[in-house]
Amino acid sequence: MTWMEWYDSLWKPSWTPAPATIGLIWQILYPIIILTFSFVFVQAIRKKLPWLVALPFAINLVANVIFTPIQFGMRNLPLAAVDILIVWGTIIWMMFAVWKHYKWVAVAQVPYFVWVSIATVLQLSITWMNR
């Protein structure tokens, strides 16, 4: 069974966005993520920003990247739920950590936070419905 057939076979809430919508949202968010995360990492490398501020960005990046292999490769809903909670939590941490240094970077995370909040509720719902 392909990953899409598997995903389609899962019980999902009635408000689940279509895969095309989810893809479109990520196409909008990834440029914001690339720009702001790159800026933070460059500033940390240049020692204009403490590495402790860059830490939640690094954790978020890893957790974001491994979500798809966990969810669709391993097809492990509980682990994907834990992973997305890490993504969600680190966005909050990122926003607080960077606020006093670069407010624009924190504000730029708002669309990412909103989407991941929705995606987290969706993932937790799917995980619960398919336990």
Tell me what the mean pLDDT of segment 118-131 comes to.
98
* Confidence band of 76 (pLDDT split at 50, 70, 90): very high
* Helix ranges (DSSP H) in the chain: 3-9, 19-45, 51-68, 77-99, 103-108, 110-129
Q: Which of 56, 46, 51, 73 is nearest to 112 (CA)?
A: 56
Q: Which of 53, 9, 29, 34 is nearest to 118 (CA)?
A: 29
What confidence score (pLDDT) does residue 65 get? Answer: 97
Tell me what the mean pLDDT of segment 15-40 comes to.
97
In angstroms, the CA 47 to CA 40 distance is: 10
Tell me what the mean pLDDT of segment 39-62 comes to.
98
Q: In a 10 Å sphere around its CB, with 0-12 CB exposed, 13-18 middle and 19+ buried, how is residue 124 labelled? A: middle
Sorted by sequence, the CB contacts under 8 Å of residue 96 that are 6+ apart come out as: 106
